[in-house]
Amino acid sequence: MSELKRRMSLEYQQRPDLLTGMLDEIDDVYIGRSSLSKAFRSLRDQYFASYRACIDNPSFEVDMIFAHDVLGLLTLVPPCDYWFVFNGDDDYMRDFTGT
């Protein structure tokens, strides 16, 4: 398994432009929308932190959970809260929030 991790780490090291390009495209969507732009920049920072962690260890999330280091994982990659609001007449189990 360590050979697979090494190869994956190398792939991540060689391809940061893929993530940067994708995030730049998304960032352009929020130009002129200050609140959303600020929120996305925060998420963007988290994407890069996760990417760097993948370079160090491509299976860091799984390894940290198996090592019972869930709090460390939540510190490294903080959860993102979300809120879904669905429109319509049926209000049963319609709106919810989560992390």
Higher pLDDT, 28 or 89: 28
> Hey, which bits of the chain come out as E strands?
82-84, 96-98
pLDDT at 81: 72
pLDDT tens profile 41-72: 888 988 899 999 999 999 999 999 999 999 99
pTM (two decimals): 0.70
Cα 8 from Cα 50, distance rounded (Å): 14
Q: Which residues of 50-66 are buried (b: 16+ CB within 10 A; e: fewer)?
A: ebebbbeebebeeebee
Query: Quick check: 39 pLDDT over 60?
Result: yes
Please give the residue range of the domain that contains residue 54: 2-98
Q: Summarize the chain as % helix, strand, coil (round to 5).
A: 65, 5, 30
pLDDT tens profile 7-22: 999 999 999 999 899 9
Domain count, the chain: 1
